[in-house]
Structure 1
């Protein structure tokens, strides 16, 4: 009956990790409601609530590209044309590109993620109850990893326990007992993926409500010459990401390694 000790270890890991995940998910959802927001969200705010600093970077780059103040090549490089930013985020992007005036897009995203302008935007949205605090997102992600590790531990302890069971007794009872903590961890991960994916959303429930009020025009193919067409693409980009852009070359520029199509 030595396998019972392994069963207790499996159950303990499963219960404790799932309890931590539930606690972290509740903490992430427990954000105060926002005060009245006059005029709704700005595009920068919508971008952050939809996709975090990366989405803000993409929005800023496309906005500057449409005004011909940067060039975006389909190879994934950005080149500064006008080094004078018109707001803090644009100035942060220019700084992230570097003194050479040219850089691949991914390092710009990384640098802008820690820029003061983005941190100020995040703090403002968190204070308004529209964004999930960074510590809450980190807590959920850590709890998910712990549940995943507990699931692996359950499988390993079950395998070891099967080796300890006499052939005459059969593995049926052992597998049945270990199936329960495995179902617990798998079920918790499934619920977490549905409720707090992607561990967790940038927007709080109140922020998600404001995002839902944004009307995104239907996507229509058109050739984009970068001359500053309507704001439809910018709104779609802020809410849905680079896949919503109508210009295939621009999509390729923000997703290096993919051919324009």
Structure 2
């Protein structure tokens, strides 16, 4: 019986580790050298971060978390400027129906003529909007973002390896528990050390070589992102920079955090 558990553990370990290796190879192939600075990136109301010239708040958000992160950033930006109201129940309400840039105008269009819409629906509409795709296309053209269809899914592959490591441990425990009382269990458990070492070793290498596990930015794009603790430009709210880089959990305003989390962010 323990051979069946060992076979399942080994197959899961090998397949998950192979997926990480494949994702790493794909990422390396499509991540080119550091790109030339963009000649004139489209302005956004948050301007560029002072530590990385030419990288706007929208671009930071996209490189860190994709179009959904960008949608969260523009919603919070407009809420901080009292032009949107984000309720803790997950609804967005228009206060000032004037957009200052193409992404803000797309946000107002996504909310609709009624002036109120659930945040998940607004986010979904923004992800597919031409204004957000224009930000993505500009980053892809500059070699900072991974093109659609070529994202390696490193984050998902690493999660799969973690699950495989847990499966190995559970399989070993099941083998030990189901073994007859007079059986030699030490040798059987020793075989489970092989897939466990493979998965844990892969996780260690991935943490050292591939972290942060991004599915949006190329290596050059990761280098353009501000380091943790870097000062923001005067035109950029520190909370917006933290949101762009780390997601809704980085927000210090409990009402905004509740609005995004209640909406499924």
What does 1:172-211 align with in structure 2 at a 5 Å threshold? 172-189=186-203, 191-192=205-206, 196=210, 199-211=213-225
TM-score, normalised on structure 1?
0.73
Q: CA deviation at 1:21?
A: 1.3
- Specify whether residues 172 and 53 from structure 1 end up closer, same or farther in structure 2 by C-alpha distance, changes over 3 A only: same
What does 1:97-176 align with in structure 2 at a 5 Å threshold? 97-137=111-151, 139-144=153-158, 146-148=160-162, 150-151=164-165, 154-155=168-169, 158=172, 161-162=175-176, 167-176=181-190
CA distance in 2 between counterparts of 1:57 and 1:167 reads 59
- SS of the residue 1:33 aligns to: coil
What does 1:1-261 align with in structure 2 at a 5 Å threshold? 3-4=2-3, 7-8=6-7, 10-30=9-29, 31-38=31-38, 39-137=53-151, 139-144=153-158, 146-148=160-162, 150-151=164-165, 154-155=168-169, 158=172, 161-162=175-176, 167-189=181-203, 191-192=205-206, 196=210, 199-212=213-226, 215-217=230-232, 230-233=235-238, 234-242=240-248, 247-256=253-262
- SS of the residue 1:110 aligns to: helix
Structure 2, unaligned stretches of length 5 or more?
39-52
Asked if structure 1 preserves the Cα contact closer than 8 Å seen for 2:35 and 2:220, the reply is: no
Structure 1, unaligned stretches of length 5 or more?
219-228
CA distance in 2 between counterparts of 1:3 and 1:71 reads 59
CA distance in 2 between counterparts of 1:126 and 1:153 reads 38
Larger Rg: 1
CA distance in 2 between counterparts of 1:157 and 1:250 reads 43
Aligned residues: 246
- SS of the residue 1:212 aligns to: coil
- Specify whether residues 77 and 197 from structure 1 end up closer, same or farther in structure 2 by C-alpha distance, changes over 3 A only: farther
- SS of the residue 1:131 aligns to: coil
CA RMSD, Structure 1 to Structure 2 (Å): 3.6
CA distance in 1 between counterparts of 2:79 and 2:134 reads 24
CA distance in 1 between counterparts of 2:217 and 2:101 reads 23
TM-score, normalised on structure 2?
0.72
Asked if structure 2 preserves the Cα contact closer than 8 Å seen for 1:21 and 1:140, the reply is: yes
Partner of 2:50: none
